[in-house]
């Protein structure tokens, strides 16, 4: 593992300049794998956010950005993608050190972030309107225009990738942005800001503020100069943002929590289902809104599937994400680990059968990090809290079922509706079950692959709207009708 670099003091990006918070307050950013201080970043308050909003407002209303053609915007996004790739090694290592995820996962996130900017760079020139035949003597058509100033709040589990998911479509559509990364994982977002500066976006088009959610995030949601707020994170916070956004009825996109069912039928390929269940639950330490944290398995395969997972659990090597061969890193913070541990205790108290994990790993290598063993509860009843509430950590619950109808009922018995998967060799059954699952993202015989070309978002309390794909840019566009009267005579109404 690499030795720690010297602690540096970072600035945030407002109106094309790197600045400290007005108050001068900072926050220490820690490596969750060893507790080392990585950096100190500004602790923005409401006034700092208002500065960023004004910069974005002026850049949209008065600056050159509105006159930038779609082709020019697209080329700038291509350059951002190239910049991400050029700095890919640094970004991946920084992501691992700040977030805790294994380096291989961080490298994938960096590649995906670059691909996202590239996808929307190509889409910038393909924003279509339409012409319509109307009853009057009029040339009538529809145009699509940018919304304006967009506040974007991203979570700590995928800092760079979520930044790309938010910024790329907004910029392709011609908006200006204020990006607020999570308090504990701002470092790759700030590096993304440097890349954006290097490619030559005008001042104020992209601003990046680092501050606490209840202050900086709330100001973005409530500020009347912000035309849209996009948020990825917990459902409870999403409700607060939605409420704050009503002040000026700003547009809202929310990608929220999940308690996602991973449904395995008896005719599924056992080895593939074992791998899919483990990857669905423990990738990125289970700190994934779409994690397959509820494993529903047909009773005749139940024992074989659980036994198969227990045999493979020892292959999940824990350690600092920069160490070779590590498959699961630390949780993002000490406080979050305590939250996850509290759910493990709840599961025990509720009578769920703990079949592996549930403890902090022992040894000097783990002493200073926020490590937790991959944990599986078997014979979990649907009413138990560990089966109903989002834990957001490496905790998998297993619940057997007897019929297809029961599997569908259990899968949908949740306030969430983000993701779900089905494992079966019967394509008819797969399509039949997927068609009845109330979730925005579904997989058959796999788990977790996501694509920039397809929409991402959920049903029910998992959110509002969609990101990525053509749907992602729609969320950053207004629709305007234009009517040109061809009659050269007065209306004559009066």
The pLDDT, as a whole number, for residue 145 is 97
Distances (CA, A) of 332 to 108, 128, 185, 191, 367: 18, 42, 9, 19, 15
How deeply is 11 buried, as exposed, middle or buried, from its count of CB atoms within 10 A (0-12, 13-18, 19+)? middle
At 205 the three-state DSSP class reads coil
Residues in the chain, overall count = 494
Phi-psi region of 324 (alpha: psi -120 to 50; beta: other; left: phi over 0): beta
Q: Are 346 and 338 in contact (CB under 8 A)?
A: no
How deeply is 368 buried, as exposed, middle or buried, from its count of CB atoms within 10 A (0-12, 13-18, 19+)? middle
Which run of H or E residues covers position 40? strand 37-42
Cα separation, 53 vs 220, in Å, equals: 8
From 1, 33, 4, select the one nearest 372 (Cα to Cα). 33
Q: Are 99 and 156 in contact (CB under 8 A)?
A: yes
Cα separation, 466 vs 418, in Å, equals: 11
Query: No. of H helices and E strands in the chain?
Result: 15, 23
Q: What angle do CA 359, 364, 367 make, to 5 degrees?
A: 55
From 221, 184, 199, select the one nearest 81 (Cα to Cα). 199
The pLDDT, as a whole number, for residue 361 is 97
The pLDDT, as a whole number, for residue 488 is 84
Q: Are 221 and 150 in contact (CB under 8 A)?
A: no
Q: Given 10, 116, 150, 289, which residue is catalytic?
A: 289
For residue 45, how many other CB atoms are within 10 A of its CB? 18
**Tokens 């080329």, residue located:** 75
Query: In whole angstroms, how large is the CA radius of gyration of the chain?
Result: 24
488: annotated active-site residue: no
At 484 the three-state DSSP class reads strand
With b for 16 or more beta-carbon neighbours within 10 A and e for fewer, the 299-325 pattern comes to eebbeebbebbeeebeebebbbbbbee
177: annotated active-site residue: no
- pTM, to two decimals: 0.95
String of DSSP letters for 136-184: SSEEEEEEEEE--EEEEE--SSSHHHHHHHHHHHHHHHT-EEEEE--TT
Cα separation, 100 vs 330, in Å, equals: 5
Cα separation, 142 vs 443, in Å, equals: 36
Cα separation, 45 vs 24, in Å, equals: 10
Cα separation, 63 vs 48, in Å, equals: 21
3 state SS for 421-461: EEECCCHHHHHHHHCCCCCCEEEECCCCCCCCCCCECCEEC
Q: Are 291 and 157 in contact (CB under 8 A)?
A: no
CA atoms within a 13 Å half-sphere pointing along the CA-CB vector of 493: 1
Q: Given 95, 255, 287, 390, which residue is catalytic?
A: 255
The pLDDT, as a whole number, for residue 5 is 54
Distances (CA, A) of 367 to 370, 394, 472: 8, 18, 42
Question: What's the average pLDDT block by block, 10 residues per block, for the chain (494 residues)?
Answer: 65 98 97 97 98 98 96 98 98 98 98 98 96 94 98 98 98 98 98 97 98 96 98 96 96 97 98 98 97 98 98 97 97 98 98 98 96 98 98 98 98 98 98 98 97 97 96 97 92 88
Cα–chain-centroid distance for residue 160? 10
- DSSP letter assigned to residue 214: I
Cα separation, 385 vs 302, in Å, equals: 21
């Amino acid at each position: 593992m690499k030795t720690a670099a010297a602690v540096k003091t970072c600035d945030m990006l407002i109106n094309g300049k790197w600045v400290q918070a007005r108050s001068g307050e900072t926050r220490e950013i820690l490596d969750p794998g060893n507790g080392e201080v990585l950096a100190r970043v500004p602790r923005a308050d409401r006034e700092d956010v208002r500065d960023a909003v004004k910069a974005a407002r002026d850049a949209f209303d008065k600056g050159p950005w509105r006159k930038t053609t779609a082709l020019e915007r697209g080329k700038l996004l291509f350059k951002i993608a190239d910049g991400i790739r050029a700095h890919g090694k640094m970004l991946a290592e920084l992501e691992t050190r700040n977030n805790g995820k294994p380096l291989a996962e961080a490298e994938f996130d960096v590649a995906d972030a670059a691909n996202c900017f590239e996808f929307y760079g190509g889409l910038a020139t393909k924003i279509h309107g339409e012409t319509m035949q109307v009853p009057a003597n009029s040339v009538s058509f529809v145009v699509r225009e940018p919304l304006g100033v967009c506040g974007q709040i991203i979570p700590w589990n995928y800092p760079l990738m979520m930044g790309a998911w938010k910024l790329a479509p907004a910029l392709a559509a011609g908006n200006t942005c204020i990006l607020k990364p999570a308090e504990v994982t701002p470092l790759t977002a700030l590096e993304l800001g440097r890349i954006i500066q290097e490619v030559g976006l005008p001042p104020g088009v992209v601003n990046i503020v680092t501050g606490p959610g209840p202050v900086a995030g709330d100001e973005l949601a409530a500020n009347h100069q912000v035309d849209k707020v996009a948020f990825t994170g917990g459902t409870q916070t999403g409700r607060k943002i939605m409420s704050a956004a009503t002040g000026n009825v700003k547009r809202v996109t929310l990608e929220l929590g999940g308690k996602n069912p991973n449904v395995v039928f008896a005719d599924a390929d056992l080895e593939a289902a074992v791998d899919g269940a483990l990857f669905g639950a423990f990738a990125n330490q289970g700190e994934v809104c779409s994690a397959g944290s509820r494993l529903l398995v047909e009773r005749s395969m139940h024992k074989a599937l659980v036994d198969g997972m227990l045999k493979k659990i020892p292959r999940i090597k824990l350690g600092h994400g920069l160490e070779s061969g590590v498959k699961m890193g630390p949780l993002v913070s000490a406080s979050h680990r305590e939250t996850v541990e509290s759910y493990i205790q709840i599961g025990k108290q509720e009578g769920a059968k703990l079949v592996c994990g549930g403890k902090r790993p022992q040894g000097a290598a783990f002493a200073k990090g926020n490590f937790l063993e991959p944990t599986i509860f078997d014979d979990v009843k649907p009413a138990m809290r560990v089966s109903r509430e989002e834990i957001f950590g490496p905790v998998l619950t297993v619940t057997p079922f007897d019929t297809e109808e029961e599997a569908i009922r259990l899968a949908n018995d949740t306030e969430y509706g983000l993701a779900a998967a089905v494992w079966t060799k019967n394509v008819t059954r797969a399509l039949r079950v997927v068609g009845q699952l109330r979730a925005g993202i579904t997989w058959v015989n796999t788990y977790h692959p996501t694509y920039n070309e397809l929409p991402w978002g959920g049903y029910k309390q998992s959110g509002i709207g969609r990101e990525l794909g053509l749907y992602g840019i729609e969320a950053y566009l207004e629709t305007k009708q234009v009517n040109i009267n061809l009659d050269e005579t007065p209306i004559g109404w009066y």
